[in-house]
Amino acid sequence: MRIACPFCGERENGEFTYLGDASPKRPNFAVDSGESPERVEDAFYDYVYLRDNVAGFMREYWYHGGGCRSWLIAERNTVTHEFRSVTAAPGVGASKPVQAGE
């Protein structure tokens, strides 16, 4: 498996660290959203623990620690290990305001 870093070019995957599925979004409930504790718990349970575990193309986070030290988002087929795209992931990790329960 070789990963085409948008900054460094194609490198072997040993240079990269894997975080996982890029699709779960951290719930961001406003303090006064009035949501029930159960719904908030459900949303965090889903975010922290549940995964689609896709067999096929999956969007996922990779960290190029052996190169430019950028966070990247790759689209990779988990059945064949084929990459479709690798792009920079600016702002990853920042908690963006979203609608309650989104």
Partner 1 sequence: MKYSIFSLAKAALSGHQGWTRAWRDPAPKSHYDVIIIGGGGHGLATAYFLANEYGIRNVAVLEKGWIGSGNAGRNTTIIRSNYGLPGNTGFYELSMKLWERMEQDLNYNAMVSQRGIINLYHSDAQRDAFARRGNTMRINGIDAELLDAVQIRKELPFLNYDSPRFPIMGGLLQRRGGTARHDAVVWGYARAADQRGVDIIQNCEVTGFVRDQNGKVTGVETSRGKISAGKVGMAVAGSTSKVAAMAGMKLPIESHVLQAFVTEAIKPLIPGVVTFGAGHFYISQSDKGGLVFGGDLDGYNSYAQRGNMPVVEDVCEGGMAVMPMIGRVRMLRQWGGIMDMSMDGTPIIDKTPVDGLYLNAGWCYGGFKATPASGLVFAHLLARDEPHPEAARFRLDRFRRGAMIDEKGQGAQPNLH
DSSP 37: H
Asked if 93 interacts with partner 1 (CB under 8 A), we say no
How are beta strands 17-21 and 9-12 bridged, if at all? unpaired
Question: Which range of residues in 29-37, 38-46, 85-93, 94-102 is near partner 1 by CB under 8 A?
Answer: 38-46
What is the identity of the amino acid at 102?
A: E
Contact 61, 72 (CB under 8 A): yes
The amino acid occupying position 79 is V
Q: Which stretch binds partner 1 (CB under 8 A): 25-33, 79-87, 90-98?
A: 79-87
Instruction: Tell me if 57 contacts partner 1 by CB under 8 A.
Output: no
Q: Which residues bind partner 1 (CB under 8 A)?
A: 1, 12-14, 17-18, 20-21, 41, 45-46, 48-55, 58, 60, 76, 78-81
